[in-house]
Structure 1
Amino acid sequence: MTRRPLSLITGASSGIGAEFARQLAALGHDLVLTARRAERMEALAVELRAAHAVDITVLPFDLADPAAPQRLFEALEQRGLQVDWLINNAGYGVPGTFVANDWNTHADFLQVLMTAPTELAWRVLPGMRERGHGRIINVASLAGHVPGPAGHTLYAASKAYLIKFSQSLCLENQAAGVHVSALCPGFTWSEFHDVTGTRDKMDKLPGFMWLTAGEVVRQGIAAVERGDAVYIPGRVNRTIKRVVQLMPDRLAMWLSARESKRYRNTQV
């Protein structure tokens, strides 16, 4: 009997990660969910097992721990689980300017947003290549395509890294049947802005700039299946990227500085 595809989703307790779990389960995927909040993942697992009769494994890990990616992979191996889809979704923002936060805060951020997804991709790729099929979605951001703002200093930089990383992996692995894609959403309805304390500012933005997590995920799944190395969901977001690319750098930076005050915490 052909086994069902298995998807590993990081940051699966809420938002885009939980929506990936819902949509992939609906497509018949077994799931491995990982995040810090075990209770939320267990509740989601109960929901999806009942709705789609798929197998779901919950493995709580804090990806800020440098040992977590290896320990997560070892837990998969102990259970005989082979990853067919990797969704590197875990992420958050650090409010304030660069020097307003201590180094450990930045180090944890870089571990979660850059090092952990890189290591997880490195660990699952050999098996995907050997089996001749695999999908990796690195959840980046429109922020990785536009000038970095003041405040939340490392966020845009980390997302730009994921975009370039995904492009290289796409080129290296497409002949082996493995598709890699950077999914670059803009403003998305989720808990992200509640956690960063910017909800009041974000609610002032016009509704046409927002997408639901469901729409972001639907387009992201279609993009990686097509083999798109980079995909920006939403016409407004794609237009923003094109316009910024055509601007002189000085003008783009000026606009970034002006607009970032509307939705970033830039306090020292």
Structure 2
Amino acid sequence: MSGRALVTGASSGIGAAIAREYARRGVPLILSARRVDRLEALAQELRGQIEVDVIAADLSSPDAPKALCEEIERRGLAVRILVNNAGYGVPGRYLKNDWKTHADFLQVMIGAVSELTWRLLPSIRAQGDGRILNVSSFAALMPAADGQTLYAPVKAFLVRFSEALSLENADRGVHATALCPGFTWSEFHDVTGTRDMMNRLPKRMWLQADDVARAGIDGVERGKTIVVPGLFYKTLYCLVRHLPDAWALKLMARNSSKIRRT
């Protein structure tokens, strides 16, 4: 296999787990995130297995995707696998935060993902067995929730985006997959300030980042468009898909209220 796997948001959580899994499979890496110290530590850990390049990027900047791709080209590297993992959550209802907070969020979650994919797709197609793994969320497959005004919709975009990319690029051997994990142990909830609340959830609802990474990579290699890791979430997804929309929305509204009260 030629070409590298570019993993955005690789400094921690699911992104770091995906990088480790690709390294275990012998795939050379390009790691990108804002926190260079974290990236360098991970790169040092993995360089005994594969070649690793580190490129810092803050994808909330509109100029970052182009600059990242230009640096990849300057270093003479080719991308065969793109993992759009960089992301975070903005807790609270829509009007709680200022517009700059929402604009930065949309740039990272939609703008950067779309532009990186557009810029790197020619290289991915040229490899003959290219892969695009978009890290979405189980929230994308559920009815909208109070307090997830933008998070769930942008994650749903990644699902439809992956489906369209799969259809458009199948003739060149490219597989695109939306990875839709539920609650996963990582720094995500520490960053959003919801760790105490999340710790009250049943253990069966929590996934390990390593398991999520393996499920996503296995899924994109098999050409699956949507991957839902974990038996609990697979079962829940099947149930929700067969509920009438009005019932599902009422169920989500009731549970959203419980979370807010907590």
TM-score, length of structure 2 as denominator length: 0.96
Pick one of 231, 234, 240 that aligns with 2:236: 240
What's the offset of the Cα at 1:130? 2.4
What's the offset of the Cα at 1:119? 1.0
Residue deviations 1:190-213 (CA, integer Å, cap 9, x gap): 111111111111111111111100
SS in structure 1 of the partner of residue 53 of structure 2: strand
Partner AA of 1:138 in structure 2: N
Gaps of 5+ in 1: none
What's the offset of the Cα at 1:257? 1.6
1:81-100 residue pairs with structure 2 within 5 A? 81-100=77-96
- Counterpart of 1:123 in structure 2 is 119
- Counterpart of 1:10 in structure 2 is 8
SS in structure 2 of the partner of residue 233 of structure 1: coil
1:1-268 residue pairs with structure 2 within 5 A? 4-50=2-48, 52=49, 54-263=50-259
Partner AA of 2:88 in structure 1: Y
Partner AA of 2:103 in structure 1: A
Distance 2:119 2:151 in 1: 24
What's the offset of the Cα at 1:4? 5.0
What's the offset of the Cα at 1:47? 0.8
- After the TM superposition, list the runs of 4 or more consecutive aligned residues in structure 1 that deviate by more than 6 angstroms: none
CA contact (8 A) 1:4 1:28 kept: no
SS in structure 2 of the partner of residue 84 of structure 1: strand
Distance 1:264 1:142, change over 3 A: farther
Partner AA of 1:11 in structure 2: G
What's the offset of the Cα at 1:131? 2.9
CA contact (8 A) 1:198 1:263 kept: no
TM-score, length of structure 1 as denominator length: 0.94
